[in-house]
Amino acid sequence: MPRSVSGVRSDAGAVLEARDSREGRGPSRVQHATIVPNERIRTVVVDDHEGIARLVANRIATLIRERDAAGERAVLGLATGSTPIGVYRELIRMHREEELSFANVITFNLDEYYPMAPDSVHSYHRFMWENLFDHVDIDRKNVHIPRGDLPRERVDEECRRYEDEIRRVGGIDFQILGIGKTGHIGFNEPGSGSDSRTRMVTLDAVTRRDAAADFFGEEYVPKEALTMGVATILEAREIAILATGEHKAFVVRRAVEGEIDVEVAATFLQSHPNTTFYVDRAAAAELTRIKTPWLVDEVQWTPDLTVRAVVWLSETSGKAILHLTQRDYAEHKMSSLVARYGTPGAVNGEVFNNLGSKIRGKSKLPRGLRTICFSPHPDDDVISMGGILRKFVENGNDMTVAYMTSGNIAVFDHDVRRYVDYTVRLARNGHGDPASAERLAKSVQDFFDRKKPGDVDIPEVLDIKRIIREAEAISGIETVGLPEEKGRFLNLPFYQTGKVKKDPIGPEDVAIVRALLDEIKPELIFVAGDLSDPHGTHRMCKEAVDLALQEYAQAGNPRPEVWLYRGAWQEWPVTEATWLVPMSQEELRLKIQAIFKHQSQKDSAPFPGSDDREFWQRVESRNKDTAGILDRLGLANYFAMEAYVVE
């Protein structure tokens, strides 16, 4: 089995840093090569997903140019999904700006749903042409994607043909993979063997749930798919597997550090001689060398690492921080930390005081500041920071809540039917024009009668869904004490596709955010730092805010303080949080009441992610859990607590 390194300074990494330097961008930091005994796949940790995209795209470009120079063709294995899109965008940029040619490139895609027409909005055929092939000079006959539109009796023949074609061109030179929450690669679900080949598979329930957002409901996700087998993947000469986001952290650790297991297909990559796992810091969070590096090797005890280590020791031993002893430290390979401070009591006291200083009740929160809360969807504000919103209002801060997208794709059709029926009944009772209401109702009803899963809504329906969410958002902020005029609806263009797949952040999106900054001139802003939402909108909204802030500062304006919040999908750990804001029982109840105002998202949200609980239930659990952690560590016993990171 190959030895693993914690981060390889490859030629691709050197090219990335050199090019970033030329373009005036800070280089993406790549961890330098270090042997990590418990990692069974070479793993490179990069600051963010954009850094991963540039690293992998550079490696592919190098391969293509090497093959061209030798008069040969590069054979690429490609993946779909949100993770590799950045790679494809970077390859398109290199084609346009650096004359990277795909004329002699042959591609094979990993998989396709079954049944699936190639022109379907959900088709991986369509995905690849929209996100890569239509934008480069590849020869159509060199593109190979499993066919999901064949009769069932021809599927086995198609799978054999696919394998034969891969062998005919000499095999795959470079294979891109993502990883699912079950550890699947391609659609090789739990139970897939190491000798499996291209075939029809039944999709795991977790996989179908994760895909529900793309299909507007789990019930519409196909139950089967065609996929390359594990053996087919392992025959590629080089493999790059990519993972980003907090929600991938546990499966990354399982794939990299766990035993090879037929239930986790990604672990088979441990036997491949040239596989590299590219992960951002969020996806790397559970790796031993990231989470508990003192268990792997000698460490430099920085203040942040000291806090993380002592909190981990307290939770592992089940003791409050101030009760930790020399023996506790010694048994968990942390004697060097005690030696640095002199005594266990000194370490304990340092960390105890550090955590205590993070607690900010209403009296310690800002007063009289111009403040903007940027909310990606029209409910993230109250879900994630409903408690501090109320406290900021009570402290006399001038608070504006800016809803960045309409959130209209996350409204069920049955809600639209109900509101249209209400409008018609209202008009019939003398409160509006009955003829106009009837025309609207007929247009909506006719569309719903012919609508198929995944179809883009007509403008009237999109408008109704947007208005539903706007009305709910205003009701939500009024619950925490903000008047209607403090809610602003930016309706950024990148979101206005009517589909789950959004456009990239563009200049128009940035200009809208910048205009609000120019108008309000905020001294403090809140931004969603929750990157695990199932459709990626939070990440894209943060990108728009970051770019607008750059322009705002470059124009000579003072940069506002940025507080990052989470909550809809997970909470900041107490070790990472800058501020911990306690809530009383009454304040948590008020926050939940504000969440209840978003009735279109209650009971069963269209895009719940992997957590089946309602948003208010997740909030109640997470806010109480954060307070409970402090209690177990031996600090104050609060009822509930929100966490924030100052960027």
Q: What is the pLDDT of residues 551-560, one digit of tens each?
A: 999 999 999 9
Residue 224 has pLDDT above 50, yes or no: yes
Tell which residue, 276, 365, 352, 360, has the closest CA to residue 320.
352
pLDDT at position 610 = 59
Identity of the amino acid at 578: T
Given a contact cutoff of 8 angstroms between Cβ atoms, the answer to whether 78 and 107 are in contact is yes
**Average pLDDT estimate for 30-45:** 74
Given a contact cutoff of 8 angstroms between Cβ atoms, the answer to whether 125 and 140 are in contact is no
Annotated catalytic residue: which of 17, 112, 189, 235? 189
Residues paired with 354 in a beta bridge: none
Angle at 347 between CA 345 and CA 351, to 5 degrees: 115
Tell which residue, 452, 464, 456, has the closest CA to residue 418.
464
Give the HSE-up count for residue 352: Cα atoms under 13 Å, Cβ half-sphere: 19
**Average pLDDT estimate for 133-155:** 97
Tell which residue, 81, 114, 281, has the closest CA to residue 185.
81
How many beta carbons lie within 10 A of that of residue 394, not counting itself? 13
Hey, CA dihedral for 136, 140, 146, 149, is it positive or negative? positive
How many beta carbons lie within 10 A of that of residue 276, not counting itself? 24
Residue 378 has pLDDT above 50, yes or no: yes
Taking the C-alpha atoms of residue 643 and residue 639, their distance in angstroms, rounded to an integer, is 14
> What is the pLDDT confidence band of residue 247, given thresholds at 50, 70 and 90?
confident
Q: Is 300 helix (H, G, I), strand (E, B) or coil?
A: coil
- Kind of pairing between the strands at 74-78 and 105-109: parallel
pLDDT at position 531 = 64
> What is the pLDDT confidence band of residue 208, given thresholds at 50, 70 and 90?
confident
Tell which residue, 531, 53, 627, 4, has the closest CA to residue 249.
531
Q: Is 337 helix (H, G, I), strand (E, B) or coil?
A: helix
Residue 433 has pLDDT above 70, yes or no: yes
Q: Is 558 helix (H, G, I), strand (E, B) or coil?
A: coil
Phi, psi of 48 (to 5 degrees): -150, 175
Given a contact cutoff of 8 angstroms between Cβ atoms, the answer to whether 528 and 376 are in contact is yes
Owner of token pair 């999904």: 81
Residue 13 has pLDDT above 90, yes or no: no
Report CA dihedral (37, 42, 48, 49) to the nearest 10 degrees: -150
Owner of token pair 């023996």: 327
Tell me the Ramachandran region of residue 328: left when phi exceeds 0, alpha when psi lies from -120 to 50, beta otherwise: alpha
> What is the pLDDT confidence band of residue 607, given thresholds at 50, 70 and 90?
low
Phi, psi of 91 (to 5 degrees): -65, -40
Report DSSP letters for 206-227, one per residue: HHHHHTHHHHTSGGGS-SEEEE
pLDDT at position 543 = 94
CATH numbers and ranges of domains, the chain: 11-289 (3.40.50.1360), 293-356 (no CATH), 362-410+459-646 (3.40.50.10320)
How many beta carbons lie within 10 A of that of residue 370, not counting itself? 15
Owner of token pair 């869904």: 465
Residues paired with 108 in a beta bridge: 77, 144
**Average pLDDT estimate for 392-412:** 96
- Kind of pairing between the strands at 398-403 and 524-528: unpaired
Given a contact cutoff of 8 angstroms between Cβ atoms, the answer to whether 77 and 106 are in contact is no
> What is the pLDDT confidence band of residue 37, given thresholds at 50, 70 and 90?
confident
pLDDT at position 498 = 67
Phi, psi of 235 (to 5 degrees): -80, -10
Radius of gyration of the chain (CA): 26
| 189 has catalytic annotation | yes
- Per the model's pLDDT, the better-predicted residue between 269 and 5 turns out to be 269
Residues paired with 238 in a beta bridge: 174
- Please count the helices (runs of H) and the strands (runs of E) in the chain: 22, 17
Helix (H) or strand (E) holding 345: helix 344-357
Taking the C-alpha atoms of residue 417 and residue 468, their distance in angstroms, rounded to an integer, is 12
Per the prediction, the chain carries an average pLDDT of 91
Q: What percent of the chain has pLDDT over 70?
A: 92
145-178: b (≥16 Cβ within 10 Å) or e: bbbbeeeeeebeebbeebbeebeeeeebbbbbbb
**Average pLDDT estimate for 108-113:** 97
Taking the C-alpha atoms of residue 605 and residue 601, their distance in angstroms, rounded to an integer, is 5
Q: What is the pLDDT of residues 617-642, one digit of tens each?
A: 999 999 999 999 999 999 999 999 99
> What is the pLDDT confidence band of residue 32, given thresholds at 50, 70 and 90?
very low
Integer CA distances (angstroms), 645 to 83, 256, 564, 574, 642, in order: 25, 29, 5, 10, 11
Residue 499 has pLDDT above 70, yes or no: no
Residues paired with 487 in a beta bridge: 401
Longest Cα pair distance anywhere in the chain, in angstroms? 83
Report which DSSP code applies to 41: S
The alpha carbon of residue 87 and the mean position of all alpha carbons in its chain are separated, in whole angstroms, by: 16
Taking the C-alpha atoms of residue 478 and residue 512, their distance in angstroms, rounded to an integer, is 24
